[in-house]
Each structure stands twice: as structure tokens, then as C-alpha cells.
Amino acid sequence: MTLSAGNHAVQILHDISFEVSAKQVLAIVGPSGSGKSTLLGLLAGLDRPTHGTIHIHGTNITTLTESTMAHFRRQHIGYVFQAFHLIPTLTAIENVALPLELQGESSGEERAKMLLQSVGLEQRFHHYPIQLSGGEQQRVALARAFIGQPPLLLADEPTGNLDSATGNRVIDLLWQLHEQHNSTLILVTHDTMLAARAQRILTLRDGTIVDDISLSS
């Protein structure tokens, strides 16, 4: 993938090719600037590659229009951001229910309640993001990512803004939800202990894959 920077073209990723099995947990690691978050954004269809294709569940997402990609993402992909990205004017339950409401489903609030309960936030249904701690906001983000029961979950440094104890709690919940929903989980992390919990570690350096290790599950 190449991006323009002034009069110069900057190549972010090159010669990237890999497959991920259903229900697998893959950790993407590497130094800052190696292209980890860019790769995750490509997998989510948030960015488009300048060359090559990306196939998810048999669909070449690089050929989809923006509106079709948005619909595909709601159906197939959950995304957990490092910075939470909750809507400040919506309560916790409204933030979690939003993806289903955008699809016109009427079960959003009930499913949101169930998921918030599963991450220990049954007392925070009607709190706004500003009224929640960082760990609580990330738990709301986890619930939102899983509400559509997506087969693919992407997480970009899910503990990057949290202290160690809170981060460990969030990761335990992430693994718990992954197992309950039988999802494929791909996460970007600098945390070597977190990466070691995955079934497979993909290492990027200078925009290319330099190592691909399978671990015992």
C-alpha cells in the first residue's frame, strides 16, 4: 500500500500475503511504524490497498463500493479501537445498540443489555462515556464490537490506553467473548504477554512480514 506525502509516495506495506483460519487468534506485532495498524485498517475495509486484494469469507472487499463495504462491515466485522471511539452524546447502552439500530433491527437494546451485563457494566447502562473510566469505556467498546455477532473481530492495541490491571481484565473479557461467539480474532499489540496468548504471531517490520509463528492453542 502506498500513501502520498506531499510530493512523495510513501510505501507503507509491500509483499504482504497471509491467510487466517476461522476461529483462530492471530496477534500482529512489530515496532512502531511497521504498518500494523495500517494492515488492520485494510482488513476492516477502512482503507483501500493501492495493489492486491483482500478476501474475507469469500468476498473480495477491495471491489466493494463504500456503501456496500459499510454494510459488509456491519454484518461480518467487529472493530475495537485503542481510543474507544464511543459517541459522547450516547449512553453506554445506546453506543452498544447502535450497530444493530443502523441495520434496522429491533433487538438492539435487549442485546446491548445482555452484552453490557456480560462485561460487568449492568450498573452503567445509562452513563455517558465521560462518566466512565477508561477501562469501562473499553468494555463498552468490546460489547459494541460483538453485538452483531461478527465472525471476524479486529482489535487495535485494545489495552494501549489502560493500566496493566485494567488491561488484563479487558483482555480476559475479549478472550471470553471471542470463545463465546466463536469469532476469528486478529489483534495488533506491542504487549508481548498479550501476543503470547494468541495461537499465531505475525511480525511486521518495514511494511513486510518477517516472521509467522504458530503457537500451541
pLDDT over 70 (residue 10): no
Rounded alpha-carbon distances, angstroms, from residue 160 to 119, 137, 155, 199? 19, 13, 11, 21
pLDDT over 50 (residue 3): no
| Cα–Cα distance measured from residue 115 to residue 143, given in angstroms and rounded to the nearest whole number | 5
Contact (CB, 8 A) for 84 and 138: yes
Is the pTM value of this prediction over 0.85? yes
pLDDT over 90 (residue 55): yes
pLDDT over 60 (residue 88): yes
The answer to whether residue 208 sits within a structural domain is yes
- The b-or-e profile of 8-43 (16+ CB within 10 A means b, else e) is eeeebbeebeeebeeebbbbbbbeeebbbbbbbbbb
The answer to whether residue 2 sits within a structural domain is no
- In the chain, the largest separation of any two C-alpha atoms, in whole Å, equals 53
Contact (CB, 8 A) for 45 and 77: yes
Contact (CB, 8 A) for 49 and 42: yes
The answer to whether residue 6 sits within a structural domain is no
| Cα–Cα distance measured from residue 162 to residue 147, given in angstroms and rounded to the nearest whole number | 23
| Cα–Cα distance measured from residue 129 to residue 140, given in angstroms and rounded to the nearest whole number | 9
Give the residue among 76, 209, 208 at the shortest CA–CA distance from 200: 209
The answer to whether residue 72 sits within a structural domain is yes
The answer to whether residue 7 sits within a structural domain is no
pLDDT over 90 (residue 164): no
Contact (CB, 8 A) for 147 and 99: yes
How many structural domains is the chain composed of?
A: 1
pLDDT tens digits, 117-127: 989 999 999 99
pLDDT over 90 (residue 198): yes
The answer to whether residue 140 sits within a structural domain is yes
> In the predicted model, what is the mean pLDDT of residues 130-158?
92
Task: Write the CATH number for 70.
Answer: 3.40.50.300
Residue 212's pLDDT is what?
94
> In the predicted model, what is the mean pLDDT of residues 70-88?
90
Query: How many Cβ atoms from other residues are within 10 Å of residue 77's Cβ?
Result: 24
Give the residue numbers spanning the domain of 116.
15-214
Tell me the pLDDT band of 216, cut-offs 50, 70 and 90.
low
The answer to whether residue 104 sits within a structural domain is yes
pLDDT tens digits, 169-194: 888 888 988 888 899 999 999 888 88
pLDDT over 70 (residue 96): yes
The answer to whether residue 8 sits within a structural domain is no
Considering 15-19, 24-28, 45-49, 161-165, the range whose residues carry the highest mean pLDDT is 24-28
Alpha helices, DSSP H only, in the chain?
A: 36-43, 66-76, 92-102, 108-118, 134-146, 164-181, 192-195
State the DSSP H helix or E strand holding residue 161, giving kind and residue range, or none if neither: none
**Mean pLDDT, the chain, integer:** 88
Considering 67-71, 98-102, 165-169, the range whose residues carry the highest mean pLDDT is 67-71
| Cα–Cα distance measured from residue 110 to residue 147, given in angstroms and rounded to the nearest whole number | 10
pLDDT over 60 (residue 7): no
| Cα–Cα distance measured from residue 57 to residue 71, given in angstroms and rounded to the nearest whole number | 14
pLDDT over 70 (residue 143): yes
pLDDT over 60 (residue 4): no
